[in-house]
Amino acid sequence: MTEQALRHLGKVSSLPASPSEAELERVPNPHPDTNYIARFSQPEFTSLCPVTGQPDFAHLVIDYVPDQWLVESKSLKLYFSSFRNHQAFHEACTVEVGKTLVELLSPRWFRICGYWYPRGGMPIDVFWQSGELPKDVWLPDPGVAHYRGRG
């Protein structure tokens, strides 16, 4: 990955076949001297159950306090799409996304919230974070309603 030659932005890009084949890219943070939250919401994240092969769906919310780098959003969308044929449990997918982004960006603070839709009648929510939130940063609520069944 070279910051000077972005492979996806402004170009036609194919969907990667798997997360390991996806190429996440980063760009310089225009405000490395300032603590702020950058948020990505992916309300249609999809992967496959490793046991049944059936699709699983989640709403992911990623918040991070950047240091020197920002994730380039088109490469992030392609990375998310690479999970569509990836078989893994909810916990594995959520934490893998988080750890991959932390390794790429080295943010001051990072959090991922995975709100998975019910499988077998029970939703599974997965939360992972890295680092300590700087004291001068306002962290908004993830904004995802908890699952409510009928009744």
pLDDT tier, 13 (very low <50, low <70, confident <90, very high otherwise)? confident
Catalytic one among 56, 63, 93, 113?
56
Told to judge if 136 belongs to the known catalytic residues of this protein, a careful annotator would answer no
CA atoms within 13 A on the CB side of 63: 19
Per-residue pLDDT averaged across 66-86, rounded? 97
pLDDT at 4: 58
Question: Which ranges in the chain belong to alpha helices (H)?
Answer: 73-81, 90-105
Predicted confidence (pLDDT) at residue 147 exceeds the cutoff of 90: no
CA distance 149 to 118: 10
Catalytic one among 33, 49, 93, 136?
49
Q: Is the pTM of this model over 0.85?
A: yes
Told to judge if 93 belongs to the known catalytic residues of this protein, a careful annotator would answer no
Least confident among 38-47, 98-107, 117-126, 129-138: 117-126
pLDDT at 150: 62
User: How would CATH label the architecture of 33-130?
Assistant: 2-Layer Sandwich (3.30)
